[in-house]
A and B are shown apart, each in its own frame.
Chain A
Amino acid sequence: QVQLVESGGGVVQPGRSLRLSCAASGFSFSNHALHWVRQAPGKGLEWVAVISYDGTNKNYRDSLKDRFTISRDNSRNTLYLQMDSLRAEDTALYYCVTVPGGSSESYYPFDHWGQGTLVTVSS
């Protein structure tokens, strides 16, 4: 079955960087686009970024595109999110999510979610 295991979260000071990872198994990783979605404590869901199946196309939430970078390593079945210049408002649980297709455009529902990794930005 599909497994998505996020890691890399923790407590970080404002202005610092963090890299999240998502180790995937149970499906053909290199055929699927992947997303990051975040959820601030007690709040709703907010889409962060997407990467196409081969890593050539990426899209970001407008407010994050200058600070966050999504990438993937299909040889390691791993998705990444590099987060720079972190702010208090980036505090959230970050989910790795799969979709049934390979494009970085919307067009697919989010069919599998990891358990998330918590990022806390605080001094």
Chain B
Amino acid sequence: DIVMTQSPDSLAVSLGERATINCNSRQSVLYSVNNKNYLAWYQQKPGQSPKLLIYWASRRESGVPDRFSGSGTGTDFTLTISSLQAEDVAVYYCQQYYSTPPTFGGGTKVEIK
């Protein structure tokens, strides 16, 4: 199984400031044939089910605000919220879908400072 590690476990950011979440996979999730990273980010707000934000490491799902962006390749990835809004308070998970079983990071809780 591909182990996914997120950091930090939690962070508190002031409204309008940048939030950065890191995700590391123990092995590469870049498929050389199509040059795609099989890496997604999900947002889970309190009391809600997870929601897909980013897939292929950097492609925003339809309807996701452009303050959310994903970057990275191979084994190291980042989710950035460029200007934190109150509605962004949530736990964020990365996930690899490169191989079965798909695996998730442990989650990063984002709060308002």
Q: Taking CB as reference atom, which chain A residue is nearest B101?
A: A47
- Chain B: interface secondary structure? loop
Q: Which residues of B contact A114 (CB under 8 A)?
A: 49
Query: Are B49 and A116 in touch, CB under 8 angstroms?
Result: yes
A68 at the interface (CB under 8 A from B): no
Across the interface, B93 reaches (CB within 8 A) one of A35, A44, A50, A106, namely A44
Name the residue on A nearest B97 (C-beta).
Answer: A106
Known: A44-B93, A45-B104, A109-B56. 10 other contacts (CB 8 A): A44-B107, A45-B50, A61-B101, A95-B50, A106-B98, A107-B97, A109-B95, A110-B102, A112-B52, A115-B49
How far is A20 from B105 in the complex, measured between Cα atoms in Å? 26
A56 to B108, CA, bound (A): 36
23 A/B residue pairs, CB under 8 Å, sorted by A: A44-B93, A45-B104, A46-B104, A47-B102, A47-B103, A47-B104, A59-B100, A62-B101, A95-B49, A95-B50, A106-B97, A106-B98, A106-B100, A109-B52, A109-B55, A109-B56, A110-B50, A110-B95, A110-B97, A110-B102, A111-B52, A111-B61, A113-B49
A108 at the interface (CB under 8 A from B): yes
CB distance from A1 to the nearest CB of B (A): 11
B77 CB within 8 Å of chain A: no
Interface size on A, residues (CB 8 A): 23
Query: Is B93 in contact with A45, judged by CB distance below 8 angstroms?
Result: yes
A105 within 8 Å of B (CB atoms): yes
Interface string of A92-123 (1 = CB under 8 A from B): 00010000000011111111111110000000
Q: Could you tell me the distance between the alpha carbons of A105 and B99 in the complex, rounded to whole angstroms?
A: 7
* CA–CA, A114 and B104, complex, Å: 18
Minimal beta-carbon separation of A123 from chain B (angstroms): 28
Assembly CA distance A115 to B101 (angstroms): 22
Which residues of A have CB within 8 Å of B67?
none
Tell me the nearest residue of chain A to B91, going by C-beta: A44
What is the chain A residue whose CB lies nearest that of B93?
Answer: A45
Cα distance, A62 to B49, chains bound together (Å): 24
**Among A46, A109, A113, which residue has its beta carbon within 8 angstroms of that of B40?**
A109
Chain A residue with the shortest CB-CB distance to B104: A45
Docked CA distance A114–B100 (Å): 21
